[in-house]
Amino acid sequence: MLIKRLSYLVLFIIVSLGQSCNYSTQNALPKGFVYLDDIAPPIKTEVRYYGNDNFVGTRISAYNSDIIICTEDAAKALRKVQEELLMSNLELLVYDAYRPQRAVNHFIKWAQNLNDTLCKAKYYPDVAKKDLFRLGYIAEHSSHSRGSTFDLTIIDSSGKPLDMGSDFDFFGPISWISSELISNKQRENRMLLNHLMIKYGFKPYAEEWWHFTLKTEPFPDTYFDFNVE
């Protein structure tokens, strides 16, 4: 009887270890990638593609959690931006970082369905959906899939985003960094974000004030497709 019980115990331990190993393997990040919270815990996040508040109007494929994943190099650089903002009682708010290729494919499929304009009024009121590819708002590949690009803004001590003149992911000239359609204060806010991101090693994207890529990104030619989870 004792031997039988010991056999069951050994079997239980083996099965438990096997389950643990499978879980770890399924949720392990590729080498060089980290969860932003593990490197820069004070940074706040609002993962728009995990919910419905985005230009598609629904959760995007492969976003299985509202967590931010990025390369370790990018996370360490972003932490320096956050540290400087905190000295002025300001903080970062990150909307997106690593984006699976399947999510990009979701955007492509959505863009090809010209009848789906659920969120046009909020995100692209002055752009015809058929022109989203031609104007570069939707592409077959995104720098986000390389893991070192962030979409982000600055928030004040109350958690309110600074007025940048347009919302994140708004498609139109008003979102260009150099837009003349915004007020002096809105431009000042954009320039603060732009200056700090450049200072700590990021390069801006001229047509999206919120979009920055690490200049020395570790995977400049690789587009990943593991889940956000």
Q: What is the pLDDT of residues 26-59, one digit of tens each?
A: 458 999 999 999 998 889 999 999 999 999 999 9
In a domain, 4, yes or no: no
Q: How many CB atoms lie within 10 A of CB 134?
A: 9
CATH code for the domain of 44? 3.30.1380.10
The Cα-based distances of 208 to 17, 24, 87, 103, 122 in angstroms read: 47, 37, 26, 19, 16
Q: Domain count of the chain?
A: 1
- The Cα 176–Cα 14 span in angstroms is 57
Instruction: Assign 10 a pLDDT band (cuts: 50, 70, 90).
Output: very low
The pLDDT score that the predictor gives to residue 28 is: 85
In a domain, 12, yes or no: no
- Sequence-ordered list of residues with C-beta below 8 angstroms from that of 190, at least 6 positions apart, any chain: 164, 165, 177, 182, 209
Query: Does the active-site annotation cover 83?
Result: no
Mean pLDDT of 95-122: 97
In a domain, 81, yes or no: yes
The pLDDT score that the predictor gives to residue 40 is: 87
Structure tokens at 56: 């598609």
Mean pLDDT of 179-194: 98
- Pick the catalytic residue from 46, 72, 91, 208: 208
In a domain, 188, yes or no: yes
- The Cα 11–Cα 129 span in angstroms is 58
In a domain, 8, yes or no: no
Mean pLDDT of 68-92: 98
In a domain, 226, yes or no: no
In a domain, 85, yes or no: yes
- The Cα 130–Cα 138 span in angstroms is 11
DSSP secondary structure string for all residues of 3-30: HHHHHHHHHHHHHHHHHHHHHHHHHPPP
Provide the residue range defining the domain that includes 152. Answer: 33-214
Tell the residue number behind the tokens 């056999």, with chain if given: 7
Q: What is the mean pLDDT of the chain?
A: 90
Total length of the chain: 229
Q: Which residues pair with 228 in a beta bridge?
A: 63
In a domain, 225, yes or no: no
